[in-house]
Structure formats: C-alpha cells, structure tokens
Structure 1
Amino acid sequence: MVLEFEAVQKSFHDSDGLVPILRDVSFGLEAGQTLALTGESGSGKSTLLHIASGLEAPDAGHVRVCGQDLTTLDDRACAALRRSDIALVFQQFNLIPSLTVEANIAFQAALSGPPDKAHIAQLTAALGLAGQTRKYPEALSGGQQQRVAIARALAARPKLMLADEPTGNLDEGTADDVMAQMLKLVAQTGAALMIVTHSPAIAGRMDRQLHLSGGTLA
C-alpha cells in the first residue's frame, strides 16, 4: 500500500469555534492505482491532500506513505520523504521563472540525487516539450507550463503523486490532452495517483472515486 489513511481527523478554529473538516477518514491507495477525490468547495479536499503529503498534520489518526507513518515524523523527515517518494502538482504551476524548462524539470530530482538525464529527456519528449527545453516559463502557454510541472513531479520517479486541480487553469481541450499524457506517464512509472478535481470527466478517468462531504468519504 502506497498511501493509507486510518481514522484521520482534522479541525480548524474560526470565529464560531472548532470546525471539523475530516471525520474518521480511512482509505488506501495501492501502487499503480489512480483515485479521484471530489467534493464541494471548502469540503476539505485540499486539506486531505496536504495531510497526505505531510504538509499538514492530522489532529488524530494515522497517515502512512510507503509504510512510513507521517504522524511520527518531524517536518524535516516529511520534507525528505517529499523529495524522494512524493510528488505534488498544483493548479498554479509554481515554476521557477529564472530557470529554463530543462532546469525546472531537473530541479526536483536534484534534491534527492543526481538527475537522470535520460529519464528527463523521455519525459520532455512524451509531454511534447522536447523543443521547449531552453525556454523560460514566461515564454510558454498555460498548457505547456503545466506539462513542465508534471514532468518535474515525475522526474524523481515518485511512488505517490498528488495533484490538486492540475488542469483547473486550462481550457477543456488542453486539459484533456494534459490529463491523458499525465495518466499515461503515471501508468508507465507504476506510481499511485490521487487527484483532487471538480470535473466529472476527469474523475471518470480514474480507477476509483471518493466523494468528501461533511468531513466523511463516500
């Protein structure tokens, strides 16, 4: 099992007091599986994703990535796990504007060791970026920038890929193309993928779907 949630709870404080976000959430995700997490805005989908990556800690319960319980790790250990086993793709591309496409893709992989240049070349070719590697992000379209973000996430050969509305800023045609390429590459690497999405079409392309409502999964 690549990702396991066991009775996870999370609440936040607001002006009215304690507001439950996640209530005893439990599920698992195996290597090679794809999972869509759906739900209304504000239902806690992004919070769940952040907990899965170790960016936030649950109030109770256990979260395991590749057998390691994130609730027992400090911030430094969680950061190390993100460098080696977890990849993140967001709606905002978060590319480094001062780096070329090639350098942006290599950046994440370099955090955990020497980048695999052959693997990076394979990713750029598969994502239609082979002719764009010397350009800077500002010279790319939105779809191209998201492809760079996906290539960067996969460059370190992660075991778990977490994506938060990765095509939310793209038009429908570009989003379909980017999604198809991402799913193909994830399948080739054998990584597990969990994607937060509002799109029924994208959710329908995943192996499984979970809906978050009222802090619980259905």
Structure 2
Amino acid sequence: MDPRALQIVSLTGGWRTGSDAEAQVLQILRDVPEGELDAVLSPLDLDQVVGDIDDHVWGPDHRTELLELVLGRRRSELSLQTVAELVAALHRGPTPRLHQETIVEVLTSYAGADFHDLKYRLNAQGDHHDLEHLVFDDVEEDLRKRLLAHVAAQAGVDATSDLRVLCDIDDTVTCAIHDDRYPRGTIYPGVVALLHALDDGAAEETPGG
C-alpha cells in the first residue's frame, strides 16, 4: 500500500477521528503531487474515510473540504472505480443535501462510455445502495430530475450495446420461499444454462455483437 495511504489508515478508523487527525488527512491529500491521487485513494476503505471526516458544528467543515478536493478540483485524476466508491460512500446512511448535490454534480459531469461505465460500477458496490436506490431514494426531486435528464440524454446520444439480462432470484433461480418441490436453496435444473443462453442471445442481437 502507498505509504501516504497507510498514514491515512493510521489516522482514521478508530472509535473517533478527532479534528486534528482529520486536518492531517486533508493535508496529506493536498500534498499528493498531480497524477498520484488515485494511487493514494484506491487502496483505502473510502466509505470509512468519508465517514470519519466530518463537518463540525463548532469547528471546520472538513468533509466539505474533502469533497471539494477529491471530487471537485482533482476528480480528473481519479479512476472511474475510485469515483464510484466515493459516490457510494456519500449515499450510505443519511444523505444530506451536500452529498446529494456532490453526487449529482459528479455523475452529470461524465458522458458517453465513461458515464455508462460509472453507472455499472455504482451497481456493483455489493449492497442495496445501487444506482436505483441512489436516484429514487437518496436524492431530492429537483436533483433527481436533473440526474434522470442526463441519463436519458446519454442513452439517446450514445446508446450502449452492453445489454444485460436481469433476473429475480427467489423461486426463479433458487427454490426459496413458496415452492416446495425441491429442498430450499436448490438451484433449479437448467436455469443457469438458460440465463447464459439469454445473455448470449442478447449479445448477438446488439449492433456489433
């Protein structure tokens, strides 16, 4: 791990990260030379780092400074995976207006293949905090309209051929709730082959597939 990332790990993740430690983290990030920021951030648990750096009622707004630095001034240095992890961190738990505005500003700044890629990475975060949850549960109506308009615009000008087969799981892939024909948890015979066939068929139907 990058030694600067190790410094950040040592300053965060405890029972409580104090204001002085937060300020040290911010200074470490400010001092990272141009082009090296992703190497520092990518190994970190960004959900933890964002959660440990706060805006204080009687003190500095360190989280606001962090977001302005990494997702504002220096976002162009970050990989799409790092951006996706930072966006995911902002809408786990309560999503205040600052987080909502930052998320929408970030997402609407991408276009074309990068935007499609970022959407998929947000959907691959491993929990229910996916793109659908973000759009329809975590952002307020005015921001939702702006984000949906961008999604629609990108779908119109840069249609992707990367189609995906979506499928329910319970009593569709595995015997889970109402079906007593098989032991609970059994994968239905042939269903995996069927999904592969559907996936292959979707690829064949797309332009260039």
TM-score, normalized by length of structure 1? Answer: 0.29
Q: Considering Cα pairs closer than 8 Å and 6+ residues apart, tell me whether 1 or 2 has the greater RCO.
A: 1
Structure of higher CA gyration radius: 2
- Between Structure 1 and Structure 2, the one with more helix by share is 2
- Between Structure 1 and Structure 2, the one with more strand by share is 1
TM-score, normalized by length of structure 2? Answer: 0.30
